[in-house]
């Protein structure tokens, strides 16, 4: 882990390759006054002439400014002070770091407001890393080292943990499917657990057979790569404290099976394990932050491929909880994987469950590329999640779960079928299917098909995996033990 230092030097005396300074559009700061003292009217003239308006994510890089020892002054827009929040801090710092990352820089210093400093530090770490992890010569370069102008050690430590955890999730999503498949995913998480302080148990295909995880195994049987189920356990509270279960869909590659995807729809299907990546990143952060919570993460890991062994349309499979499922679409595989994993979580003593999955294209149609869909059987629990997501600045929207959608997943030959009645309300019928496997446990399903992956880069983050909702889960974990649920 890269060491981040703290500094109290005057801005004009900072010796670095670059110094990043956050600016509000409607008020000055001690940093701004220091820069004015060191550079005269230079930056003030930029502001007065409209060459820098300090809008959110606006970045201006100024090399070799007289009065500064740093080689570059980077102005990072924060927008209005009244609208400053966690998301603004992360994105502004990420935008500045990403603007510098094309060059190999040694030491960089960041000066940001004390509020949401942890998110700013996380933003630098996120902006410093790209999806080109398999390139011989990456286009995005991490800083050799960086310092934060503050005395708040805890904020810097938390920000570093958050940024690294987000990048863990991003890295898992960005790795190609010939490198990351169920076995290697599990191996990486075992190593991460040792480094971060959470226990890892791995069920192989034999143990999955013993545990009667038949729906997960059905999806996996078309591949030569055997499936895995991960259980990650962090116990930071007393034995009698409530247990939060985090469940992630981990389809490391999804061809669609016999309901085969077209080539253009299959290219990025290494990202179909984004839910599992979110859970792993959250477990890393929660453990390293030593939060006072008992949390268990579960990930079902499979490949969905085509072969003579692959499951077929018309098959009927008995799930772990005993319900039979008629297969109407082999590309609706994620809910089959989650069915067994949710049953494991609910029967293992979880008091509350949140699952994450890149589950349906219908959710993208409903909510777009940046907003996750929320579905629940317990409104109070969902409200708690929404509050955490709002504080983290991650977009989500709750969709209805009325009983008429349950009628659409009833089969004529089995208890359930794995898709609803046609295209309409597809994200809701998928959620109603999952609801069949959580018993009475308060549960939230988070469909991250949109925000987990981006084809285009943004100012603060490269294209590819986003690491979405890792910060929301950390926020949720902080509040969980005090929540009146």
135 tagged catalytic: no
CA atoms within 13 A on the CB side of 341: 38
DSSP letters of 357-402? E---HHHHHHH-SS-EEEEES-HHHHHHHHHHHHHHT--EEE----
Alpha helices (runs of H) in 104-145, residue ranges in sequence order:
117-127
261 tagged catalytic: yes
Can you tell me whether residue 285 is helix, strand or coil? helix
The tokens for 269 are: 């299907």
Phi, psi of 241 (to 5 degrees): -75, 155
Across the strands, what pairs with 453? 465
Residue pair 468/394 in contact (Cβ under 8 Å)? The answer is: yes
**Which is the catalytic residue, given 98, 228, 335, 471?**
335
Alpha helices (runs of H) in 296-453, residue ranges in sequence order:
334-347, 361-367, 379-392, 404-407, 426-435
> Cα separation of 313 and 421, whole Å?
15
Do strands 18-24 and 443-447 pair parallel, antiparallel, or not at all (unpaired)?
Answer: unpaired
**Which is the catalytic residue, given 80, 188, 261, 323?**
261
Catalytic machinery residues: 261, 335
């Amino acid at each position: 882990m890269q060491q981040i230092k703290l500094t109290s030097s005057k801005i004009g005396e900072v010796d670095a390759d670059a110094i990043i300074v956050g600016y509000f559009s409607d008020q000055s700061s001690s940093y701004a006054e220091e820069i004015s003292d060191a550079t005269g009217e230079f930056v003030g003239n930029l502001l007065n002439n409209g060459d820098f308006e300090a809008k959110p994510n606006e970045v201006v890089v100024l090399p070799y400014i007289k009065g500064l020892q740093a080689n570059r002054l980077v102005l990072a827009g924060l927008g209005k002070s009244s609208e400053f929040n966690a998301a603004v801090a992360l994105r502004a710092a990420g935008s500045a770091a990403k603007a510098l990352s094309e060059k190999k820089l040694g030491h960089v210093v960041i000066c940001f407001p004390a509020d949401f400093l942890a998110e700013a530090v996380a933003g630098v770490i996120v902006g410093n890393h790209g999806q080109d992890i398999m390139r011989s010569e990456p286009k995005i370069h991490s800083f050799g080292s960086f310092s934060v102008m503050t005395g708040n050690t805890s904020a810097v430590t938390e920000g570093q943990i958050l940024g690294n955890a987000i990048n863990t999730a991003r890295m898992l999503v960005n790795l190609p499917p010939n490198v990351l498949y169920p076995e290697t995913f599990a191996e990486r998480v075992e190593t991460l657990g040792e480094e971060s302080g959470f226990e890892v148990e791995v069920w192989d295909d034999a143990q999955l057979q013993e545990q009667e995880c038949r729906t997960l195994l059905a999806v996996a049987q078309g591949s030569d790569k055997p499936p895995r189920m991960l259980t990650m356990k962090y116990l930071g509270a007393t034995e009698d404290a409530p247990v939060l279960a985090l469940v992630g869909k981990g389809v490391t590659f999804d061809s669609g099976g016999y309901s085969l995807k077209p080539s253009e729809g299959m290219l990025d299907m290494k990202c179909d394990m984004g839910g599992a990546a979110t859970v792993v990143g959250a477990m890393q952060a929660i453990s390293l932050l030593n939060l006072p919570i008992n949390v268990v993460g579960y990930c079902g890991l499979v490949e969905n491929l085509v072969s003579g062994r692959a499951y077929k349309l018309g098959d009927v499979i008995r799930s772990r909880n005993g319900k039979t499922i008629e297969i109407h679409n082999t590309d609706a595989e994620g809910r089959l994987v989650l069915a067994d994993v949710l049953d494991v979580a609910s029967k293992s003593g979880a008091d509350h469950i949140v699952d994450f999955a890149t589950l349906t294209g219908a959710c993208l149609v409903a909510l777009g590329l940046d907003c996750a869909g929320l579905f629940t059987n317990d409104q109070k629990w969902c409200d708690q999640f929404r509050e955490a997501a709002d504080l983290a600045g991650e977009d989500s929207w709750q969709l209805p779960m009325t009983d008429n959608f349950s009628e659409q997943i009833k089969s004529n030959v089995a208890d359930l079928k794995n898709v609803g009645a046609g295209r309409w309300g597809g994200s809701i019928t998928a959620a109603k299917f999952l609801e069949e496997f959580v018993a009475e446990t308060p549960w939230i399903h988070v469909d991250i098909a949109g925000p987990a992956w981006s084809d285009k880069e943004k100012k603060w983050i490269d294209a590819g995996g986003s690491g979405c909702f890792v910060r929301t889960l950390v926020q949720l974990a902080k509040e969980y033990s005090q929540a009146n649920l």
